[in-house]
Chains A and B, each alone.
Chain A
Amino acid sequence: DIQMTQSPSSLSASVGDRVTITCRASQSINIYLNWYQQKPGKAPKLLIYSATNLQSGVPSRFSGSGSGTEFTLTISSLQPEDFATYYCQQSSSTLFTFGPGTTVDVK
Chain B
Amino acid sequence: QVQLVESGGGVIPPGGSLRLSCTASGFPFIKYGMHWVRQAPGKGLEWVAFIRYDGSKEYYANSVKGRFTISRDKSKNTLYLHLSSLRPEDTAVYYCAKDKFDSLMRGDASDVWGQGTMVTVSS
Binding site for B on A (CB under 8 A): 1, 32, 34, 36, 38, 43-46, 49-50, 55, 85, 87, 89, 91, 94-101
Contacts and interface: CB of A to CB of B under 8 A. Distances in A.
Contact of B50 (A34, A50, A96): A96
Contacts of A46: 100, 109-111
Nearest to B49: A96
Interface of B: 35, 37, 44-47, 50, 59, 61-62, 95, 100, 106-111, 113-116
A34 B99 CA distance: 12
Contact of A87 (B44, B59, B62): B44
A44 B59 contact: no
Nearest to A97: B47
Given A1-B62, A46-B109, A95-B47, 5 more contacts: A43-B116, A44-B37, A44-B113, A95-B61, A98-B46
Q: Chain A interface secondary structure, helix, strand, loop or mixed?
A: loop
Contacts of A100: 44
B59 A91 contact: no
Nearest to A85: B44
Contact of A91 (B44, B109, B113, B115): B109
B47 A98 contact: yes
A98 B100 contact: no
